[in-house]
Structure formats: C-alpha cells, structure tokens
Amino acid sequence: MLRNREVGKEKLNWLFLIPFYASTQSVSVYIPLGVIALGGSVIDVSLAVTAYYLLLVPTTLLWGHVCDLGGWRKKLLYLASAISLLSSIALYYSRSIASLIAIFGIYSQTAAIFAPAFNLLILESLPKKQWEKGYTISNIYMFVGQIIGMVAGVAWTASFPITSYPIIPAIFSAAALLFISKMPEPKILLERRSILWSAHGLIHRLTHLPLIFLRRPHLTDFKSIAAMSRKALTREIPLIFAASFLFMLSANLFFTPYTPYLKHVGLSDSEVFLLNIYIVAANAFTSQFLLKRFSGKVSHVVASKALIARAIGMLLAAVFASLITDTRIFYTTMVVYALLGAAYATINVNLNSLLFRALPVGKQGGLLGVFSSLNGIAFLIGAFASGYLSYYFSYTTTFFLAAILVFLASIILEIHYKR
C-alpha cells in the first residue's frame, strides 16, 4: 500500500551491502570451523545450524510485521548490522561450543531483520521500471561482499588460528554501520505486499531468504493446499511447494555436515574458505547470466534439469566420500561445488518464477505463508538430521540421501508438467 506519493530521486547508496555480506558470509563459514576447533563433532555443528533456523523462521514473521508498521528502513538495517557486530565480538571471546550455538542462534536475527527491510528499501528507492536494476546492483554487491569475506578468511587463517577470526566479520559489520549512516530514508513507504507487483521482486526475495510471511498462515490455508493437491487443475501450487520443500531439505542435509567432512579428511581452514570462494563465484556467474536474460519466461524443464545437475553433484560427493579419505577431496569438491553453485541460481529463478505465475490473486498471503512454513520445516529437519546421520552412519549416507531428495523434486516437476 502506497502511503506517501512523493517520489524522491536520491542517488542509490547501497555500498553497505559489501561489508554486510562479507560479514554474514564470514560468520556462516566460521561457525562449523569454530565448533570443530573447540573439539566439537558434526552433531554440534548441526545443532548450531538448527538453533539458527529455530529462531530465524518465527521471527521472520515478526520483523516483517514491524516493517509494515512504519518506515524505519535505515534503523532496521542499523539493527541488523549491530546484531552482526555484537555477535561477532561475542564469537571472538567465546570458548565453548554451547556459547557458539547460542550466539549463532541470536545471529539469525541479522537475516530476519535485513531481508524484509532491504527488499522494501529497493522498492521504495526506485521507480517500478528500475526495480530490476536495483535487484541486479544488490546482487552484484552481495557477491562482491561474500567473496571479500572469503578472501579475508583465506588470508587470516593462513597466519592466525581460526578462533581469532571473528574479529574480521566484526570489522566488516562496523564498516556496514558506517555506510548505512550515509544512506537516506526513502521518501515513500510501501507494505510488503508490494513485492507481489514484480516477478523480479519475489524471485529476489525468495532467493535470498525463502521465508516470506505476508500474514500468519492459518489452518485453513494448509487445508486449502491439501484440497488443491487432489484436483488436477489446481495441483500445480502444491507440487511446487513439494519440490521446494525437498530442495531446501536436501540443501541443509548436504551443506550442514560438509565443512565438518572437509575437516575430517584433513583440509585446512584456509582451504575451506577457498572452496567457499569457488562456490560463491559459480553461483554469482550463473545468477548474473540468468537475471540479465530473465524476461518473465519460466521453464519447468530448465528447473528440472538444474535439479538433476544438483543431484548429480551431491551424488558425486557421496561417491568421492566413499573412495577418497585424504586431502585430494579439495579437488573433487571443486567439481561438486561447480555443479551445485551453477544449479542453485537456475533452480531458484525458475522454481520461484513458476510459483509467482501460479499464485492466484487475492490468496498470495496465505499461500506464501504455507510455502514459508514448509521451507522452514525443511531447513530445521535437514540441519538437525544431517549431524546424526553423518555421525552414526556416514557422510556418504548423508550426501546420498540429499541427492535422492533432489532427484525426487525433479521427478515431481517432470510428472506434473508433462501431463
């Protein structure tokens, strides 16, 4: 809903995104390394990731409503960066696994606050015809920031212990706060429903955080999904939800134990950061390629093929894990990450485009609430189960199961759209 029709023409000042994403990416890679450095196991890492999503999912609903109540875009971005700064400092002084888990749970609020606030900032700072440009710029800044954070990780851990690394994301967060101070508040205010005006807006939002609650989902919303799944004409939305659920579940099932696995076979902390640069670069290249060519066209065929490519990457990881038990995994991981990174953007753009096209007018709020709830459940199950599966069975088993789930997502799309 438009609340102020005075449109400003301020110059975009989003440089804060670079240090902000450098910080968040650094912390996400640090947590499993920090837990392992303190003597933790893959189960402890999975508990840390579970704590993160356990707080993230419900508070995304809360902070979304805060965004709708008033402006405060700049203040909310300040708050997100301040939480990142304080959490990084706390991680620097933390010397127990329990404290790392608790701090990482609190750190989730950085994403919960940032996602709705910044997405609205894009819509409010630019005229509608330039929204796509805004999303492209923000994506470029994000990837640049993530790579800077990883390069800093490679350099730091080559000379200093990993437990001292949180000082680096703290510095990045402080820089983000400084840049935010130079950013003006937008002169128009929009509610989050405005994102439904733009396919690019919804795709961008769901790619960065696939949790968007325009309102609290009700029991009737879940019942309507069940009813839709029983009718051929309305089955598309439930099947997209199912494919997304399996995609998110497999992602956490695979990536949560992967860093502990790399450490298990003897890779150094610097090598882990270096591999993360590689997957971010693969994702960045594919994302920019797709976004430049996206013009409202959607393809279940491309989504299905990308899911298969991702499943093959995970299956290769399982094969390599069963055959190689030394640092040669560094090179096989490059193959795996190339497939996973390239497929990720392709899946998100096409799957979320299918969702945007299928959402019926007037019912988007409830359906997106169900969609986000299912994704949240997938994140939690994947994070929690991955540690125990890897510890009590094997990393090979976990990676293989993740691959099967992605294959199932592809099959769901193929069966429905080929009818």
Percent of the chain's residues with pLDDT above 70: 91
pLDDT tens per residue, range 401-415: 999 999 999 999 888
Cβ 67 vs Cβ 195: under 8 Å: no
Q: What percent of the chain has pLDDT over 90?
A: 56
Q: Check residue 344 and give its pLDDT.
A: 87
Topology agreement, domain 10-209 and domain 214-419? yes
pLDDT at 128 over 90: no
Residue 3 pLDDT > 70, yes or no? no
Would you state the pLDDT for residue 249? Answer: 97
Judged against a pLDDT cut of 60, whether residue 295 lies above it is answered with no
What fold does the segment set 10-209 form as a domain? Growth Hormone; Chain: A; (1.20.1250)
Residues in the chain: 419
Tokens of 301: 């065929």
- Rounded-to-integer distance, Cα 348 and Cα 4, Å: 33
Question: What integer pLDDT is reported at residue 4 of this predicted model?
Answer: 39
Asked if the model's pLDDT at residue 366 lies above 60, the reply is yes
State pTM to two decimals. 0.91
* Range from 11-20, 190-199, 259-268, 278-287 that averages highest in pLDDT: 259-268
Tell me which H or E stretch contains 351. Answer: helix 329-358
Name the CATH superfamily housing domain 214-419: MFS general substrate transporter like domains (1.20.1250.20)
Instruction: From 406, 1, 400, select the one nearest 214 (Cα to Cα).
Output: 1
Contact call for residues 292 and 350 (beta carbons, < 8 A): no
CA distance 245 to 240: 9
333-to-57, 238, 419 alpha-carbon distances in Å = 30, 34, 37
Report DSSP letters for 95-127, one per residue: -SHHHHHHHHHHHHHHHHHHHHHHHHHHHHHS-
Q: Which residue bears the tokens 């989730």? A: 108
At 137 the pLDDT is 87
For residue range 80-98, list pLDDT tens digits in order.
999 999 999 999 999 999 9
The residue-averaged pLDDT of 219-230 equals 82
Give the whole-angstrom CA distance, residue 10 versus residue 416: 46
- Which CA distances in Å does 49 have to 9, 53, 336, 371? 41, 6, 22, 21
**pLDDT bucket at 7, cuts 50 / 70 / 90:** very low
**E-assigned strand segments in 107-245:** none
- Location of structure tokens 């709020």: 365
**Rounded average pLDDT over 35-57:** 97
Q: What is the pLDDT of residues 166-188, one digit of tens each?
A: 999 999 999 999 999 888 777 67
Token couple for 246: 């399996």
Give the pLDDT confidence score for residue 36 in this predicted structure. Answer: 97
Domain spans of the chain, in order of start: 10-209, 214-419
